[in-house]
Amino acid sequence: MNAVEEFTAIGPLLPDDMRLYIREEIDSTNDEVRRLAEAGAADGAVVIANRQTSGRGRRGAAWVCPPGEALAFSVLARPAEPAGLWPRLALAAGLAVAEALELHGVTAGIKWPNDVWIDGRKICGVLVESGGHHVVIGIGVNVNVAEFPAELADSATSLWLETGEPVDRAGVFAEILRRLDVRRHQIGVDFPLLLDAVRSRCVLTGRRIRLMSADGLREGFCEGIGTGGELLLSVDGRLERILQADEVRVVE
């Protein structure tokens, strides 16, 4: 089955305000959504590709996923909320994925701000990129990846590896989009609803962590997530509010 056949079938399951574009191969679904946005596409456009030739992760890293096994897709948002709230969409995306995966009986955690983890291993990464009037929410999920290269085997997992059987990739995709369609609209007045659900899945809370923030390397005890979605880090008895960070690692 090619990607068009596989994903067209879920059309009736998709939220009304989402319009699906299916590509067998593309450079990056984030780039394709950006191009659609620049051509005037409406909020809710979704691009899914079976294969990305230049898929990317955060910090410019390559994002490689085996065709036919993982999900690689991007959603166009034109939020009504002020741009200062748009970074919250990363939390919304991770939460939507976690909620969809949980339907398969796994316990999915959110590694603030962008990743979904199962049992200490990454199953999903989120790359949110903003333009002047739009946001691209890029999501990569390891669904039916049966084996990872040796260098990733300890740090990555897939739904197949966790459940012991292959799952319906298109069904997982449809469920993520349904959840995302709810959660992406909770970055404004309804943010407490989103926050509660993220906090209860935060894998960093109560752990000693190290991260690279705008102010440099920080190490401390994670106290949880603050009311604005920021990470609360206790460093030498002083509480710091981390708005953005890279390379967040649990150190014990």
Which spans of this chain sit near ligand BTN (rule: CB under 6 A)?
A: 28-30, 52, 55-58, 61, 63, 72-74, 114-115, 125-127, 138-140
- Using CA atoms, how far apart are residues 18 and 40, in angstroms rounded to an integer? 15
Give min distance, CB of 235 to ligand BTN, in A.
25
| Nearest residue to ligand BTN on Cβ basis | 125
Which lies closer to ligand BTN via its Cβ, residue 102 or residue 129? 129
Which lies closer to ligand BTN via its Cβ, residue 121 or residue 221? 121
- Using CA atoms, how far apart are residues 236 and 81, in angstroms rounded to an integer? 36
Give min distance, CB of 88 to ligand BTN, in A.
17
Which lies closer to ligand BTN via its Cβ, residue 31 or residue 181? 31
Half-sphere exposure of 68 (CA within 13 A, CB side): 4
Give min distance, CB of 94 to ligand BTN, in A.
10
Contact 159, 142 (CB under 8 A): yes
Contact 81, 188 (CB under 8 A): yes
Q: Is 182 exposed, middle or buried (0-12, 13-18, 19+ CB in 10 A)?
A: middle
Which lies closer to ligand BTN via its Cβ, residue 51 or residue 199? 51
Give min distance, CB of 61 to ligand BTN, in A.
6
Which lies closer to ligand BTN via its Cβ, residue 86 or residue 221? 86
**DSSP letter, residue 27:** S
Residues paired with residue 69 on neighbouring β-strands, in sequence order: none
Contact 111, 123 (CB under 8 A): no
Give min distance, CB of 193 to ligand BTN, in A.
25
